[in-house]
Amino acid sequence: TQLLEQSPQFLSIQEGENLTVYCNSSSVFSSLQWYRQEPGEGPVLLVTVVTGGEVKKLKRLTFQFGDARKDSSLHITAAQPGDTGLYLCARSQGGSEKLVFGKGTKLTVNP
Amino acid sequence: DAGVIQSPRHEVTEMGQEVTLRCKPISGHDYLFWYRQTMMRGLELLIYFNNNVPIDDSGMPEDRFSAKMPNASFSTLKIQPSEPRDSAVYFCASRQTGGSRFFGSGTQLSVL
């Protein structure tokens, strides 16, 4: 199993601050997905990145896929309490349906 | 569409009892997945089905776990007998070929 390491594990910030969370692997992956999971709910897909160096924006969220396709980052600008949740990255294993998830970054945005 | 529907939302049982978790995927989705989430191990795939046929059950922890999908609109995950270490949140997800995964709200299982 090719592991995904996410950092930081926990992050607590004030509303309006910017933040970046990271997802790293020791091996190259063909694509990477980012999910957000709110308390008591299942993960919801935010974005899929495929091309090395790719940058995707979703309102205040910016996702970047590393040039070597071994890492990815999620940057949130002017965080809001509604951004609170567990942010998970996931990669497919061997092109199969088996998504391997990182353990996530638990983000708390305080008003 | 109502999304992926799981029941029950919460289950508390005693060690040794049989537990059955249920899932109704989104209509038209041909893949169904069962995941387990714990603090220690994160989100792990247990088994997945394609067109009601189990494709990969290598994530099922042991023989106490079994899953069925008798038709395109229903699946069950059964644990018999249950043990305290099975306590976790169990998620069902579905997707259409070429589409994204949609997760249910999960079943919080506590085995005492």
pLDDT tens for A55-86 read: 999 999 999 999 888 899 999 999 999 999 99
Single out the residue of A88, A85, A74, A79 nearest to residue A111, CA to CA. A79
Residues above pLDDT 90, as percent of chain B? 92
- Mean pLDDT score, B64-73: 96
Concatenating the DSSP letter of every residue in B43-108 gives EEEEEEEETTEEEE-TT--STTEEEEEEETTEEEEEESS--GGG-EEEEEEEE-TTS--EE---EE
Contact (CB<8Å) B31/A97: yes
**In whole angstroms, what is the distance from residue A51 CA to residue B41 CA?**
29
Contact (CB<8Å) B101/A102: no
B25 shares contact with chain A (CB less than 8 Å): no
Single out the residue of A8, A17, A32, A2 nearest to residue A104, CA to CA. A8
- Mean pLDDT score, B4-29: 97
Residues of chain A with pLDDT under 50: none
B91 shares contact with chain A (CB less than 8 Å): yes
> In this predicted structure, what is the pLDDT of residue A94?
64
- Mean pLDDT score, B87-108: 96
The strand pair at B10-13 and B107-111 is best described as: parallel
How close, in Å, is residue B83 to chain A by CA atoms? 23
Contact (CB<8Å) B93/A42: yes
Structural contact between residues A75 and A19, judged by C-beta atoms closer than 8 angstroms: yes
- Mean pLDDT score, B60-71: 94
Contact (CB<8Å) A103/B42: yes
> In this predicted structure, what is the pLDDT of residue A95?
63
> In this predicted structure, what is the pLDDT of residue B8?
97
Please give the structure tokens belonging to residue B24.
């109704």
